Amino acid sequence: MSVTSQYKDAWEGFWSEAPDVPGEVFWDAEPAVTAGAHLALFEPHVADPALTLVDLGCGNGTQTRFLAGRFHQVLGVDLSAAAVEHARRQDPSGEQRFRELDAVDGDAVAQLHAELGDANVYMRGVLHQCVEKDRQALADTIATLVGERGRAFVVELGEAAGARLAALAQGEAGPPAKLLPVLRHGIAPGAVADAEASRLFAAAGLDVIAEGELPLATTEYASDGSRLELPSRWLVVGRGSGRDDG
């Protein structure tokens, strides 16, 4: 199974046009308010920090480069070849690894697991951008990558975020400038019910070890200077006992 060419083309078009300037992409917030905040929730549940960390849906690699300072080995993967090229350009020393990967291609994912062994996974805001038919395959991918020893941190927009984004897009002033390219390329976030992620990972054979809510930072700001944040839910999943609610 793999994504449709239309879906892949949308991402290629978006990343081909996206500027290399940090913070110009709607979700490309600085790591201090994204991956940094998430690691405080994730690290207590990582059973084996020596495993490679896979940044799944790495985009231009902003979070990947931060994560590389906290884990021994990090690999950023993305569906879009243009995104991977962005990531490599922003890492001129070539110290960080990036790779193109269709995350719902079961054979490609199995090959990656065979290469890396069990891995830890970081995935931010990918599930809600998938078409509905690919969501279970994406959860299955995470189950394959974490294997028996790994853990995954997954953060997705909450149900309430859909209404907030719709209101922004339809407001009198029009969509925020950094949201416009997302909408123009047909990458409008889909509605994922708050309970759906848990069901998908359970069907993939993973346990929800911890979960909670927190605001997801964007790079847009309101007229009063406050950062635009969207409601989100986070999960730590893996094959293991014990559960803590955040």
Tell me the per-residue pLDDT of 134-162, one tens digit each, with 9 for 90 and over: 999 999 999 999 999 999 999 998 888 87
Q: Is the pLDDT of residue 86 over 80?
A: yes
Percentage of the residues of the chain whose pLDDT score is greater than 70: 94
* 56-74 average pLDDT score: 95
Confidence of residue 191 (pLDDT cuts 50, 70, 90): low
* 43-69 average pLDDT score: 96
- What φ, ψ does residue 2 adopt, rounded to 5°? -145, 165
pLDDT tens-digit series, residues 156-176: 988 888 778 777 777 777 788
Rg of the chain over Cα atoms, rounded to whole angstroms, equals 17
Report pLDDT for 1: 45
* 206-234 average pLDDT score: 92
* 217-243 average pLDDT score: 87
Cα(121)–Cα(153) distance, integer angstroms: 6
Report pLDDT for 234: 96
Q: Is the pLDDT of residue 2 over 70?
A: no
Confidence of residue 190 (pLDDT cuts 50, 70, 90): low
* 71-99 average pLDDT score: 93
Report pLDDT for 51: 98
- Is-above-0.75 flag for pTM? yes
Query: Mean pLDDT across the chain, nearest whole number?
Result: 90
Q: Is the pLDDT of residue 246 over 80?
A: no
Report pLDDT for 241: 58
Q: Which of 79, 73, 91, 117 is nearest to 22 (CA)?
A: 91
